[in-house]
């Protein structure tokens, strides 16, 4: 016997379906409303309409925290900072809401507004600092790539240049922007590279694979997919040609997720890069997206990723080769807020994870010279 549930609205239907999907125990299998799906589609090409916030789940607390604000964006103008906790969006509590779902609620057409409640820590009197802010949505000009040259002196006293590249998200422009950054740094005579993926929550997986191919040669395996029946399919490059063969260190942390982990795994397992930092987030699931007749969309997990060396990423993460003790674990001092312009080199030089990365580059250079 089929039990019928009278539903008075589309929202009631979405709520009922969400409840049924939740019994699967997979937070990434979900239904989203037409409005949220439209927001999801906005911005994947790099032309974002929203408030200029990058957010993600803080693994230790489960809270949604601000990773960074796009400079000059509505969020930045309102005084929202890295490390602030997002409590509500338009009056809806965010308990149990993942980062992508919350981001969808923040996006929307330019000219509309969204109200957020933000927790910014505790004041000198031990009072919790929670405030409500009404933010206009705007077109956000955003490149996921920032770069700089870090001057470095080797243990032998030789002066070198390290090309630093910060990749904040995987939009459609990530790979071409990465190519442009590398060409510019190569023209300035850098000797090695640091790729910073800290607090990069992911984005378009294809963009992550495209970025990996910028650093790799040949027909290397970039990632393996495993479907629900256990069938494994490798995704390989075809006659790849890296833009540079200079030594590379990749920095990751707990906020590095999804496409960030795929990229880090591809570079590490193919022997292209040393990983420095902290264990990554551990999101290695693949969703199929089906748009329904009313404009809503059903996201269903259909497979998972394994790294080229067959390491399971999902709920496990990637453990770096070298840990770094760092104050950068405090989101208030996150690397995404360090590099506002190419002149912010002194802040980079004071970052202990970058110091560790420089040390690893020195080791690579000395081993190369010895051979």
- CATH number of the domain that 273 lies in? 3.90.226.10
pLDDT at 333: 39
pLDDT at 47: 63
pLDDT at 42: 60
- Does 79 reside within a domain? yes
130 shares a domain with 271: no
Single out the residue in 108, 141, 174 at which a domain terminates.
Answer: 141
Region of residue 282 (left: phi > 0; alpha: psi -120 to 50; beta: else): left
**pLDDT (average), residues 323-333:** 51
Is 105 labeled as catalytic in the residue annotation?
no
Residue 99, SS3 per DSSP: helix
pLDDT at 268: 98
153 shares a domain with 134: no
Cα–Cα distance, 114 to 136 (Å, whole number) = 6
pLDDT, tens digit (0-9, with 9 covering 90-100), for 247-270: 999 999 988 999 999 999 999 999
Which of 235 and 329 is assigned the larger pLDDT?
235
- Does 113 reside within a domain? yes
Catalytic residue of the set 258, 260, 296, 337: 258
pLDDT at 132: 94
187 shares a domain with 73: no
- How would you classify the pairing of strands 145-153 and 138-141? unpaired
Q: Which residues have C-beta within 8 Å of that of residue 157, sequence separation ≥ 6?
A: none
**What domain count does the chain have?**
2
Helix axes 205-215, 259-269, angle to 10 degrees: 30
- Does 25 reside within a domain? no
- Does 5 reside within a domain? no
227 shares a domain with 334: yes
130 shares a domain with 249: no
Cα–Cα distance, 324 to 47 (Å, whole number) = 35
Catalytic residue of the set 283, 296, 335, 336: 283
Q: Give the helix/strand (H/E) hosting 192.
A: strand 192-196
pLDDT at 346: 56
Q: Which of 66-75, 132-141, 175-184, 198-207 is predicted most confidently?
A: 175-184
pLDDT at 87: 93
Count of residues for the chain?
A: 371
Q: What is the mean pLDDT of the chain?
A: 86
131 shares a domain with 161: no
pLDDT at 288: 85
- How would you classify the pairing of strands 64-69 and 53-57? antiparallel
- Does 234 reside within a domain? yes
| Contacts made by residues 27-30, CB under 8 angstroms, sequence distance 24+ | 27/96, 27/98, 28/98, 28/283, 28/285, 28/287, 28/299, 28/301, 29/287, 29/299, 29/300, 29/301, 30/101, 30/298, 30/299
In this prediction the pTM is 0.76
Could you give the C-alpha distances from 5 to 2, 12, 295, in angstroms and in order? 10, 10, 22
Cα–Cα distance, 266 to 259 (Å, whole number) = 10
- How would you classify the pairing of strands 248-252 and 192-196? parallel
184 shares a domain with 110: no
pLDDT at 57: 79
pLDDT at 111: 93
CB atoms within 10 A of CB 261: 29
pLDDT at 335: 44
The pLDDT-based confidence of 340 (bands split at 50, 70, 90) is: very low
Cβ atoms of residues 201 and 70 within 8 Å: no
* Residue 123 confidence (pLDDT) above 70: no
125 shares a domain with 255: no
Percentage of the chain beyond pLDDT 90 is 52
247 shares a domain with 126: no
345 shares a domain with 260: yes
pLDDT, tens digit (0-9, with 9 covering 90-100), for 265-320: 999 999 999 999 999 999 999 888 899 999 899 999 889 999 999 999 999 999 99
Which of 269 and 345 is assigned the larger pLDDT?
269
Structure tokens at 57: 């789940």
Is 283 labeled as catalytic in the residue annotation?
yes
Single out the residue in 99, 114, 141 at which a domain terminates.
Answer: 141
- Does 22 reside within a domain? no
| Domain harbouring 69, CATH code | 2.30.42.10
Single out the residue in 83, 115, 141 at which a domain terminates.
Answer: 141
271 shares a domain with 134: no
- Does 117 reside within a domain? yes
Which of 212 and 331 is assigned the larger pLDDT?
212
278 shares a domain with 256: yes
Cα–Cα distance, 360 to 275 (Å, whole number) = 9
- Does 311 reside within a domain? yes
Show the domain range for 77. Answer: 47-141
């Amino acid at each position: 016997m089929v039990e019928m549930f009278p539903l008075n609205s589309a929202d009631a239907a979405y709520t009922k379906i969400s409840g049924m999907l939740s019994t699967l125990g997979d937070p990434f299998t979900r239904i989203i409303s037409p409005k949220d799906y439209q927001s999801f589609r906005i911005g994947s090409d790099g032309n974002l309409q929203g408030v200029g916030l990058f957010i993600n789940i803080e693994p230790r607390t489960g809270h949604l925290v601000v990773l960074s604000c796009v400079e000059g964006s509505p969020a930045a103008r309102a005084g929202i900072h890295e490390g602030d906790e997002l409590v509500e969006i338009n009056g809806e509590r965010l308990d149990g809401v993942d980062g992508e779902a919350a981001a969808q609620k923040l996006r929307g057409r330019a000219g509309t507004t969204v109200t957020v409640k933000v927790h910014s820590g505790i004041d000198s009197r031990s009072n919790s600092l929670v405030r409500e802010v009404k933010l206009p949505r705007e077109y956000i000009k955003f490149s996921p790539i920032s770069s700089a040259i870090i001057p470095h002196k080797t243990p032998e006293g030789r002066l070198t240049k390290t090309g630093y590249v910060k990749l904040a998200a995987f939009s459609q422009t990530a790979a071409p922007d990465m190519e442009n950054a590398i060409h510019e740094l190569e023209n300035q005579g850098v000797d090695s590279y640091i790729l910073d993926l800290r607090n990069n929550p992911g984005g378009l997986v294809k963009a992550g694979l495209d970025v990996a191919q910028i650093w790799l040669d040949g027909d290397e395996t970039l990632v393996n997919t495993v479907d629900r029946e256990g069938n494994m399919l490798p995704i390989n490059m075809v006659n790849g040609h890296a833009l540079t063969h200079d030594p590379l260190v990749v920095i990751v942390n707990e906020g590095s997720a999804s496409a960030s982990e795929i990229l880090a795994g591809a570079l590490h397992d193919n022997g292209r890069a040393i990983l420095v930092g902290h264990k990554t987030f551990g999101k290695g699931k693949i969703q199929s997206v089906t748009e329904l007749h009313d404009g809503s969309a059903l996201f269903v997990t259909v497979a998972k990723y394994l790294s080229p060396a067959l390491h399971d990423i999902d709920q496990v993460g990637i453990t770096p080769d070298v840990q770094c003790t760092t104050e950068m674990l405090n989101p208030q001092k996150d690397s995404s807020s360090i590099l506002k312009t190419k002149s912010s080199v002194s802040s980079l030089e004071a970052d202990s994870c970058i110091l560790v990365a420089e040390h690893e580059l020195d080791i690579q250079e000395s081993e190369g010279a010895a051979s």
